Amino acid sequence: MIYSRIVGTGSYLPPRVMTNLEFAARLDTSDAWIRERTGIVQRHIADPAQGSSDLALQASRRALDAAGVGAESIDLIVLATSTPDYIFPSTACLLQAKLGVKGCAAFDLQAVCSGFVYALATADSFIRSGQYQRALVIGAEVFSRILDWNDRGTCVLFGDGAGAVVLAAGSKPGVHASVLRADGSQVDMLSVPGNVCNGRVIGSPFVQMNGQGVFKFAVKVLEDSARETLAAADMTIEDVDWLIPHQANVRILEATARKLGLPAKKLVVTVDHHGNTSAASVPLALDEFVRAGKIRGGQRVLLQGVGGGFTWGSSLVTL
């Protein structure tokens, strides 16, 4: 039996830190208002010259170093992003070139904030099939490019960053089970309803969100997804050492943990200093806790995403 296992993690955050005080100086908001409703204190913002592929490159190099392998050993690259460098080619192909390798399969995956979980499940399936031996799975975003900086309901929430893992074939289970779901009828709850036509933007190029609707929907599907994934792995919540939900809002994270009956000490929270980095949030949080020595080899981690589409999903992994 072939399994896949995470053998290295990496992440990257742009140097520029944007605090809540910058918003308070020009919008009808305050540091206290943002903290109370979201738990966010600061976020990182990419330089105008940096694209998602640049952030992904730094995170990927760190994941490869952690795994002790070179980029030439990778035979699959799956990059989750909603903010690609170009319309085409894919950001995964741009990343491949920046890594200095050729030939391996490389493609983007678009599931918004669920993107990394979707990408991990996809790479896991390819490895289990025997088609590939070692995959680079990345979530990378420059969400600051699609924000209306005058809309306090959305612009205070998001940040930029990238996270990556190296997934390798092995004889011991690493990814135990994954469950992916979507409901396209909820498209209006969270979207960027625009596109390019004849050189012009048609519709809106900015994030649109129904905050209350997203909160209620996210808490419900994260609980359902967690229970479904645990059942598929023939495990219970007591078997989970750490829960890493998509880092969107601390209230969503805490509500999900409560509904699952998971102790607060097992909940990973990084949204306070990263903001919502969409597809990058889960691998960013994973890498931070791995490098801090909090998440250790042999521990079970439940990774969860939920985002526009609506999409959601979970993966239960042993590090």
Q: How far is CA 173 from CA 3, 64, 283, 312, in A?
A: 5, 21, 19, 23
**pLDDT, tens digit (0-9, with 9 covering 90-100), for 181-239:** 999 999 999 999 999 999 999 999 999 999 999 999 999 999 999 999 999 999 999 99
State the catalytic residue, choosing from 44, 176, 274, 276.
Answer: 276
- The token pair that represents 247 in the structure block: 């880092």
pTM across the whole model: 0.97
Q: Mean pLDDT score of the chain, rounded to an integer?
A: 97
Q: Is 155 among the catalytic positions?
A: no
Which residue is associated with the tokens 């952690």?
Answer: 66
Give the per-residue pLDDT at 3: 97
Please enumerate in sequence order all residues whose Cβ is within 8 A of that of 88, keeping only pairs 6 or more positions apart, or say none: none
State the catalytic residue, choosing from 44, 113, 249, 274.
Answer: 113
**pLDDT, tens digit (0-9, with 9 covering 90-100), for 232-275:** 999 999 999 999 999 999 999 999 999 999 999 999 999 999 99
Give the per-residue pLDDT at 49: 96
75 band by pLDDT with thresholds 50, 70 and 90: very high
Architecture of domain 176-318: 3-Layer(aba) Sandwich (3.40)
Instruction: Tell me if 49 sits within 8 A of 14, measured CB to CB.
Output: no
Name the residue among 90, 147, 140 with its Cα closest to residue 115. 140
Average pLDDT score over residue span 145-163: 96
Q: Where in the chain is the domain with CATH 3.40.47.10?
A: 3-171, 176-318
Q: CA-CA distance, 134 to 226, in Å (whole number)?
A: 26
281 band by pLDDT with thresholds 50, 70 and 90: very high
Q: Is 276 among the catalytic positions?
A: yes
Determine the distance from the C-alpha atom of residue 128 to the mean position of all C-alpha atoms in its chain, rounded to a whole number.
22
Please enumerate in sequence order all residues whose Cβ is within 8 A of that of 13, keeping only pairs 6 or more positions apart, or say none: 44, 160, 161, 274, 284
Q: CA-CA distance, 207 to 260, in Å (whole number)?
A: 30
247 phi and psi angles, rounded to 5 deg: -85, 80
State the catalytic residue, choosing from 93, 246, 249, 274.
Answer: 246
Three-state secondary structure string covering 143-191: HHHHCCCCCHHHHCCECEEEEEEEEEEECCCCEEEEEEEECHHHHHHEE
Instruction: Please tell me the CATH superfamily of domain 3-171, with its number.
Output: Thiolase/Chalcone synthase (3.40.47.10)
Q: Is 246 among the catalytic positions?
A: yes
38 band by pLDDT with thresholds 50, 70 and 90: very high
Give the per-residue pLDDT at 216: 93
Average pLDDT score over residue span 302-319: 97
Name the residue among 208, 116, 104, 214 with its Cα closest to residue 161. 116
Beta bridge partners of 300: 318
Give the per-residue pLDDT at 153: 93
**pLDDT, tens digit (0-9, with 9 covering 90-100), for 125-147:** 999 999 999 999 999 999 999 99
Q: CA-CA distance, 48 to 309, in Å (whole number)?
A: 27
